[in-house]
Amino acid sequence: MVIIMALLSGVMVGAVWAGPFAEHGVTPDAAVAWASFVVEAQGQSPATNILGPVDANWAIGYPAGGSITVGFDYPIYNGAGPDFAVWENAFSVTGGGGTIFAELGYVDVSTDGENWVTFPSVYLDDHDEYTNIEPNNVYNLAGNYIGHYVPLDQREGTGFDLEDLLNTAEVVAGLVDPNIINFVRIRDIISPPAGGNNFDQATYFFCEQCSENHRISDGNANTELGGGGGADWDAVGIINVLSADFDKSGKVNLADLYILAQSWMSIDDGSGWDGRCDISDPNDGAINYRDFVNFAEQWLKP
C-alpha cells in the first residue's frame, strides 16, 4: 500500500501524459506582466528586445548556444495551469504537414538568482537530422510553437507550469521556491548536426515514452537557413503573478497590507509614495481603491 500511494503521489506531482502534447501554445493575452530587466545575456542581441510584451523585436541568437536571464517586477507563483510563457519566432513550414521550423531552449528558474532548477522536458520527435518539428511532440522546451508570420495577438508562447518542478531536488531541498520565482533563464539548444548533444529529461516523468531520455534536434541543424545561429527570443510573460506580495515573502498577508496602508492615497513622487503598491492595471501613479481591489483578489495567495 505504501508503494502504491508513493507512485500515485508521484503521478500527481510529476506526471505528464504521453505525447502528443498540446497542439497550441499560449497567446499574449494570457500574460498579465512581462520581463522587465535583463540580468545577463550571452549570444543574444540586443538582449533588451526580450523585455516587455510580444512585439516581433527579438533578442537574436548568434552564435548558437547562447543564454539570457531576465527578472520581473513581481514574483511568479505556482497557480492554476501555466504560470509563465516564453515566445520565440518559430514559423510554419509550407507543405510541411503541420511541422514548424523551431529553435528550442531549456528553461531554468530561480528564487534568489543563485540557485537554479531546470524544467524537465520531453522531446519525442524521432530524428537527429531533420530540423522541422511537430509542436505536440515537445514538452517544456521553449520555442515549440508558432511565433512568426502571424499577427502578434496570435503568436503562441510555450507555457511552463511550476507544478512540474515540485519533485525536483532543488525544490525539495528548499533551494528554489516555486511560489517565489524572480528570475527565468533560457538556454539555447544546439542540434546534433551542428555539434550539439543535448537531451531531454523524460525519465523525470511518468509516461509511456519516458523510460529513457531523448536527444534533441531543432532548427540549429539547418545550415541552409543560417545554421550556426541560435534561438531568437521575443518575450517572457507572467500568467500567475503576485503583484501584491510587496515584501516578496511568497504570500500576500498582513505584512503586505501594512505596506499598502503606509502608502495609501499617495501619488507618484509625493509623500508616502511606494511604487510597489501601484498594482492597478494599468498603473496610474496613485495608490487608491483600484490597487486595493487587486490586493483583495490576491489576499492569502498562493
Instruction: For 81-99, write each residue's pLDDT tens digit.
Output: 999 999 999 999 876 667 8
Give the amino acid at 209.
Answer: Q
Sign of the Cα pseudo-torsion (146, 150, 156, 157, in order): positive
Whole-angstrom CA distances from 183 to 41, 104, 111, 136, 178 are 13, 19, 6, 27, 11
Whole-angstrom CA distances from 288 to 227, 237, 265, 268, 283 are 53, 26, 5, 12, 11
How is residue 290 written as a grid cell?
483600484
Helix (H, G, I), strand (E, B) or coil at 139: strand
Whether the CB-CB separation of 222 and 131 falls below 8 Å is answered with: yes
Q: What is the reported pTM? A: 0.87
Q: Which of 132-141, 210-219, 226-235, 287-296 has the lowest mean pLDDT?
A: 226-235
Q: pLDDT tens, 29-81?
A: 999 999 999 999 999 999 999 999 999 999 999 988 999 999 999 899 999 99
The Cβ-side half-sphere exposure at 14, using a 13 Å CA radius, reads 22
Q: Are strands 132-133 and 44-45 parallel, antiparallel or unpaired?
A: unpaired
Pairwise CA distance, residues 236 & 185, whole Å:
10
51-55: Cβ within 8 A, 24+ apart: 51/235, 52/235, 53/28, 53/235, 53/237, 54/28, 54/87, 54/147, 54/152, 54/155, 54/157, 54/234, 54/235, 54/237, 55/152, 55/234, 55/235
Position 221 scores a pLDDT of 56
Pairwise CA distance, residues 109 & 248, whole Å:
16
Pairwise CA distance, residues 18 & 21, whole Å:
7
Give the amino acid at 269.
Answer: D
Q: What is the mean pLDDT of residues 164-181?
A: 96
pLDDT band at 11; cut points 50, 70, 90: very low
